[in-house]
Chain A
């Protein structure tokens, strides 16, 4: 069964460093998403991406964040200068159909746990 994969599973970095979290969405999916879950808290939407552009972003997704689809398979989230409060689980998701479609199920990856020291 096709699935969304994410690497690495756990990333430890120093405050101020840049990190890139990688995701491989399901191959025939068109929409891609990043979510964040601070430990013990709810899952929060960061950004959605379609046709090589950001289609929506939340207020959390500020200038230190960027997303990219560098090739036909990967979808990356870059945090330019990490802060302690960026420590969280980051989930990638993808969906096949248009986001306004009734059957638009998002498939989540297993997450990358980011720890900023």
Chain B
């Protein structure tokens, strides 16, 4: 069984602060994929990143960075110098190879509020 835990329900920061969104996962699969999605107030899901379980290299994309630590089963997401437009719900998801399927399991999401 797969499980994704996003312990932070809501985070509130002031613009320009750095913020880290936590994601801890559980899976018995040796091959799996981890994702982050952004859901702005308009409701759509915006894909941010996908990592596979064999690649623990951290990734940086502009103000976004991701820290994948297999030893602690975590895939945390950091926004540097947050902006008001970053306000959204962020979902972490896990997709494992159980039974040949890669249907993702989503966490409950972390609502990020960035105040001006």
Q: Residues of A at under 8 Å CB distance from B?
A: 41-45, 48, 56, 58, 89, 91, 99-100, 102, 104-111, 113
CA–CA, A109 and B39, complex, Å? 12
What distance in Å separates the Cβ of A79 from its nearest Cβ neighbour in chain B?
A: 19
CB pair B101 A89 closer than 8 Å: no
| Beyond known contacts A42-B109, A43-B45, A48-B103: 10 more, CB 8 A cutoff | A42-B91, A42-B108, A43-B93, A56-B101, A100-B97, A104-B102, A105-B47, A107-B47, A108-B47, A110-B42
Residues on the B chain within 8 Å of A110, using CB:
42-44
CB pair A44 B106 closer than 8 Å: yes
Residues on the A chain within 8 Å of B43, using CB:
89, 110-111, 113
CA–CA, A100 and B98, complex, Å? 10
Can you list 5 A-B contacts with CB-CB less than 8 angstroms, sorted by A residue number? Answer: A44-B106, A58-B103, A89-B43, A108-B47, A110-B44
CB pair B103 A56 closer than 8 Å: yes
Residue of B nearest to A3 (CB): B44
CB pair A108 B45 closer than 8 Å: yes
The one of A41, A45, A89 in contact with B104, judged by C-beta atoms closer than 8 angstroms, is A45
Residue of A nearest to B6 (CB): A42
A110-B44, A111-B43 in contact; A42/B106 too (CB < 8 A)? yes
Residue pairs across A and B with CB atoms within 8 Å: the count is 50
B81-113 vs A, Cβ < 8 Å mask (1 yes, 0 no): 000000000010100010011111111110000
CA–CA, A105 and B33, complex, Å? 10
Residues on the A chain within 8 Å of B45, using CB:
43, 91, 108, 111
CA–CA, A48 and B101, complex, Å? 10
Residues on the B chain within 8 Å of A42, using CB:
91, 106-109
Residues on the A chain within 8 Å of B12, using CB:
none
CB pair A100 B102 closer than 8 Å: yes
Residue of B nearest to A33 (CB): B103
The residue among B46, B102, B108 with the most chain A CB atoms within 10 A of its own CB is B102
The one of A99, A102, A108 in contact with B52, judged by C-beta atoms closer than 8 angstroms, is A102
What distance in Å separates the Cβ of A100 from its nearest Cβ neighbour in chain B?
A: 6
